[in-house]
């Protein structure tokens, strides 16, 4: 297979990101052109890994595909795959921590295994793999002022976004046999997680209370992670604020009305996302 030109490789990644990153692209488009292209490359590869985990293939084939991605990452400069070509170039231009993709692969394997989590600490390790890794990859593209906590803040922000995803997708995940709410939390709030007539069952309000409790905990991770903002340049900071702002607004909507996620996948409107992006460009968090 003939290797694509860099322009072709980046165009492929930007097309994937524009089509698939329904929330992240609102922030990514605020970056300078070179950083936008690099972050689209990172997203496109992360999306490929996620799609393997969420696809319908047998477990053995998923394992084979994940291992193929891992091997190709170890030989990026020889790849002719457009996404890999773009990632390789992005890693030459910016200090992208490619080892974070290995953590993402580990986290997606946890999904494939159907792993469940007894404690919030166990869930945090999963979130660190599948989302903290993305935060650190983004930081590599953004760049930051020298600060010993920068990587920690990026990690925390990714974990906050993943906790929001978990609360938004309780029903959708349960339909595919996945449960991310820790057993200790389910037990503490007396929740028997199940679906009745297509709707999450919550006969005594325990699930709603658990969701509010989880949302309050996620707010603490956002507060920690958003300390990254002042360490970034204006455009990168705006991207960070926009991506985080969309998910924070979604979290607040879920916390205000937990039942909104009982029968559907909640999302913000395009107008609402645009408002978050505009405020982020002005340096304001949603």
**Fold entry, domain 1-110:** Farnesyl Diphosphate Synthase (1.10.600)
Question: 95-106: string of b/e by CB count within 10 Å (b at 16+)?
Answer: ebbbebbbbbbb
CATH top class, domain 116-285: mainly alpha
Residue 72 near residue 84 (C-beta atoms within 8 A): yes
pLDDT for 193: 97
What SS3 class is residue 117?
Answer: coil
Residues 28/21, Cβ–Cβ less than 8 Å: yes
Q: Which pLDDT does position 281 carry in this prediction?
A: 77
At 50 the pLDDT is 96
The pLDDT score that the predictor gives to residue 132 is 97
Establish whether domains 1-110 and 116-285 are of one fold.
Answer: yes
* Dist CA 139 CA 179 (whole Å): 29
- Return d(Cα 179, Cα 113) in angstroms, integer: 12
The domains of the chain are located at 1-110, 116-285
**From CA 208, how far away is CA 151, in angstroms rounded?**
33
Identify the pLDDT of residue 264.
94
Q: Please give the structure tokens belonging to residue 136.
A: 């650190």
**Block means of pLDDT (10 residues each) for the chain, length 286 residues?**
90 96 89 96 97 95 97 94 97 97 97 96 98 97 96 97 98 96 98 96 98 98 96 95 95 98 94 90 71
Q: At what angle do helices 59-73 and 99-113 cross, to 10 degrees?
A: 180
C-alpha angle 220-285-28 in degrees, rounded to nearest 5:
105
- Six-digit token string for 201: 């069952």
């Amino acid at each position: 297979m003939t290797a694509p030109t860099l322009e072709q490789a980046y165009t492929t990644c930007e097309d994937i990101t524009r089509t698939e990153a329904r929330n992240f692209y609102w922030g990514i488009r605020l970056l300078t052109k070179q950083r936008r292209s690099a972050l689209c490359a990172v997203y496109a590869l992360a999306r490929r890994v996620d799609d393997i985990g969420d696809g319908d293939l047998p477990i053995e084939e998923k394992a084979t595909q994940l291992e193929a991605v891992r091997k190709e990452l170890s030989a990026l400069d020889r790849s002719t795959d457009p996404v890999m070509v773009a990632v390789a170039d992005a890693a030459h231009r910016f200090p992208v921590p490619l080892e974070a993709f290995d953590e993402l692969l580990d986290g997606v394997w946890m999904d494939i295994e159907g792993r469940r989590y007894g404690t919030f600490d166990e869930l945090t390790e999963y979130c660190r793999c599948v989302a903290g890794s993305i935060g650190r990859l983004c930081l590599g593209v953004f760049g930051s002022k020298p600060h010993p906590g920068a990587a920690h803040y990026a990690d925390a922000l990714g974990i906050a976004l993943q906790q929001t995803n978990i609360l938004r997708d309780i029903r959708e995940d349960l339909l595919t046999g996945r449960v991310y709410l820790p057993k200790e939390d389910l037990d503490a709030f007396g929740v028997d997680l199940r679906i009745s007539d297509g709707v999450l069952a919550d006969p005594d309000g325990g699930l709603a209370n658990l969701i509010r409790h989880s949302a309050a905990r996620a707010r603490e991770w956002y507060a920690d992670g958003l300390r990254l903002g002042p360490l970034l340049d204006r455009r990168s900071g705006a991207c960070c604020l926009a991506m985080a702002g969309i998910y924070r607004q979604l979290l607040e909507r879920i916390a205000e009305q937990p039942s909104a996620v009982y029968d559907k996948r909640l999302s913000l409107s395009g107008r609402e996302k645009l408002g978050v992006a505009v405020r982020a460009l002005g340096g304001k968090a949603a």
